């Protein structure tokens, strides 16, 4: 073939007015092929956009034999003239001059033949589902959101701070950690006299786990660099089989010195609106596709969140509203209870019909590091609750008093936190932060129903395929 610069379908479509009449070079995967005795039409997709490029094969130039391997899923390279399209549904098409087939895809074996496979079926072939329109759209939006997150924080002067994935501490104290060990399970139990496993022989010389959150190390960064954020994978071994939980998920955790709870709420609201606005501006085609096929209110819901102030409400008030709602909840409501998703969604979807930031939770249901309020009963926590999602962000002002924090650490039976307490021992400052569950944000922006469908290779109980 002639040496001309290959263009992606996205590049070609965005410049099509200049390119009409010129010879172009494109590569991609065949989505469909149809036609008649005289002409065959191939819809080509290369992942750069939800849009397919139509390739026209004139059968006076190509033989049946040449076109036989051009079936759904095969990969091809085409050169030809870009012309204004005569058909409906596309503005331009390529009149093929030359064809090279990179790889065939047997129609008997390639599983993505027809349109409209169920999401459940696609989950079973998660290694191939990025080739579908739906997952192409979701994954492009996921990328755009990740980029927007880095851009938001970079433009604000925050530093991207890398916290460890393997750790010997348990940030959330929920005990839902995956252990990291090179001890041979066959040799266990390798007990000490007191009946405990002797980790001195293990790789790190102590018990180690995959992190549930980078926050504690993030606080070390913030109390040195001022404002930092993390963006990395986190791991939770909770046995939660829900459409909103993963065992491996990505979390963004900003941590800011000299921020009080109000500053923290302001940042969270500005941040999440920025991300959604970014997706609306940069992923319009993909959002439109998902709206048409899955969620007809998607754009409206996204715009609504961007354009309205979030409600800010103390937990105690939230409990009162739930108690007075007259609603029968599956889990009973009373002051002190950890809110379930049905409670959160009642407040957001039915009572306020807006995102809600719930603050000042009872200290018993929140992590040890949160700043105690003067009432001695509640802590300066903040959860951002979203329609259809429930909790999307969890955060707090941190306890900066060495005395109060070490008391709470002791009361919780936590050990080995001396390094963390040094932030309070030396030059302690008021500071705050929060964690955004990345997949919950992607879930909201794509309008998908199940968190397993917004990450390429989901991990959840009894599933570690691919
Ligand atoms: O509320 P969480 O547990 O808070 C923390 O980990 C804090 N250390 C954050 C901080 O203050 N720096 O988790 C934060 C967010 C939740 O609001 C939720 O969006 C998401 O992480 N999340 C999960 N997402 C998917 N699957 C799971 N199993 C999740 N658990 C939490
Ligand atoms: Mg939480």
Task: Give per-residue pLDDT as tens, 73-131.
Answer: 999 999 999 999 887 777 999 999 999 999 999 999 999 987 789 999 999 999 999 99
Does any ligand 1 atom lie closer than 6 A to the CB of residue 435?
yes
| Ligand 1 centroid – CA 239 distance (Å) | 15
Q: Would you state the pLDDT for residue 188?
A: 63
CA of 453: how far to CAs of 117, 130, 288, 299, 402, in Å?
13, 10, 18, 19, 43
CA 172/CA 412 separation, integer angstroms: 11
Does any ligand 1 atom lie closer than 6 A to the CB of residue 221?
no
Give yes or no for residue 355 having a pLDDT over 60: yes
Pocket test for ligand 1, best of 175, 217, 435 (most atoms within 8 A of CB): 435
| Ordered DSSP codes for 345-363 | HIIIIIIISS-EEEEEEEG
Ligand nearest 233 Cα, by number?
Answer: 1
Q: Would you state the pLDDT for residue 190?
A: 57
Question: Cβ distance 369 to 411 under 8 Å?
Answer: no
Q: What whole-number percentage of the chain has pLDDT above 70?
A: 98
Average pLDDT over residues 252-259: 98
Q: Would you state the pLDDT for residue 87?
A: 79
Q: Would you state the pLDDT for residue 192?
A: 65
- 254 Cα nearest atom in ligand 1: 12
Q: Would you state the pLDDT for residue 191?
A: 64
- Looking up tokens 């129609």 gives 107
Q: Would you state the pLDDT for residue 96?
A: 98
Give yes or no for residue 19 having a pLDDT over 70: yes
- pLDDT, one tens digit per residue, over 369-394 is 999 999 999 999 999 999 999 999 99
User: Which is it for strands 378-386 and 431-437: parallel, antiparallel or unpaired?
Assistant: unpaired
Nearest-CA residue for atom 23 of ligand 1: 437
Does any ligand 1 atom lie closer than 6 A to the CB of residue 28?
no
Does any ligand 1 atom lie closer than 6 A to the CB of residue 393?
yes
Does any ligand 1 atom lie closer than 6 A to the CB of residue 357?
no
> Is pLDDT larger for residue 274 or for residue 240?
274
Does any ligand 1 atom lie closer than 6 A to the CB of residue 355?
no
- pLDDT, one tens digit per residue, over 155-211 is 999 999 999 999 998 777 776 999 999 988 777 655 666 777 888 889 999 999 999
Cβ neighbours around 416 below 10 Å, total = 12
Does any ligand 1 atom lie closer than 6 A to the CB of residue 245?
yes
Nearest-CA residue for atom 7 of ligand 1: 435
- pLDDT, one tens digit per residue, over 38-55 is 999 999 999 999 999 999
């Amino acid at each position: 073939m002639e040496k001309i610069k290959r263009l992606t379908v996205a590049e070609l479509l965005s410049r099509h007015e200049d390119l009409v009449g010129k010879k172009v070079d494109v590569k991609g995967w065949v989505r469909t092929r149809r036609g008649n005795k005289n002409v065959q039409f191939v819809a080509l997709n290369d992942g750069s956009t939800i849009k397919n490029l139509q390739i026209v094969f004139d059968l006076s130039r190509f033989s049946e034999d040449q076109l036989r391997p051009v079936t759904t899923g095969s990969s091809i390279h085409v050169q030809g003239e870009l012309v204004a399209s005569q058909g409906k549904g596309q503005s331009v098409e390529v009149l093929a001059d030359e064809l090279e087939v990179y790889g065939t895809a047997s129609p008997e074996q390639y599983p993505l033949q027809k349109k409209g496979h169920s999401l459940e079926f696609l989950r079973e072939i998660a290694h191939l589902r990025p080739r579908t329109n739906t997952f192409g759209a979701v994954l492009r939006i996921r990328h755009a959101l990740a980029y927007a997150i880095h851009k938001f924080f970079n433009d604000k002067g925050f530093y991207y701070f890398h916290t460890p994935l393997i750790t010997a501490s348990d940030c959330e104290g929920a005990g839902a950690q995956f252990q990291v060990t090179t001890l041979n399970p066959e040799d266990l139990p390798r007990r000490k006299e007191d009946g405990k496993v002797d980790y001195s022989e293990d790789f790190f010389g102590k018990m180690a786990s995959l992190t549930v959150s980078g926050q504690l190390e993030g606080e070390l960064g913030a109390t040195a660099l001022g404002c930092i954020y993390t963006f990395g994978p986190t791991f939770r071994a909770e046995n939660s089989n829900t459409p909103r939980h993963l065992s491996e998920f990505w979390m963004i955790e900003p941590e800011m010195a000299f921020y009080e709870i109000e500053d923290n709420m302001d940042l969270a609201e500005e941040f999440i609106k920025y991300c959604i606005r970014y997706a609306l501006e940069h992923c319009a085609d993909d959002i439109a596709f998902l709206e048409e096929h899955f969620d007809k209110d998607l754009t409206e819901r996204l715009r609504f969140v961007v354009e309205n102030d979030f409600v800010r409400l103390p937990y105690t008030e939230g409990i009162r509203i739930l108690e007075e709602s007259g609603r029968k909840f599956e889990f009973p409501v009373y002051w002190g209870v950890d809110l379930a998703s049905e409670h959160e969604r009642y407040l957001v979807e039915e009572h306020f019909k807006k995102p809600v930031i719930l603050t000042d939770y009872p200290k018993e249901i929140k992590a040890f590091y949160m700043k105690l309020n003067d009432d001695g009963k509640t802590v300066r926590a903040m959860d951002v609750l979203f329609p259809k999602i429930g909790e999307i962000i969890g955060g707090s002002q941190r306890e900066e008093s060495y005395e109060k924090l070490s008391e709470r650490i002791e009361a919780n039976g936590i050990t080995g936190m001396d390094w963390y307490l040094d932030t309070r021992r030396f030059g302690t400052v008021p500071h705050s932060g929060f964690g955004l569950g990345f997949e919950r944000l992607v879930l909201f922006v794509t309008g998908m129903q199940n968190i397993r469908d917004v990450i390429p290779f989901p991990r959840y109980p009894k599933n570690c395929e691919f």
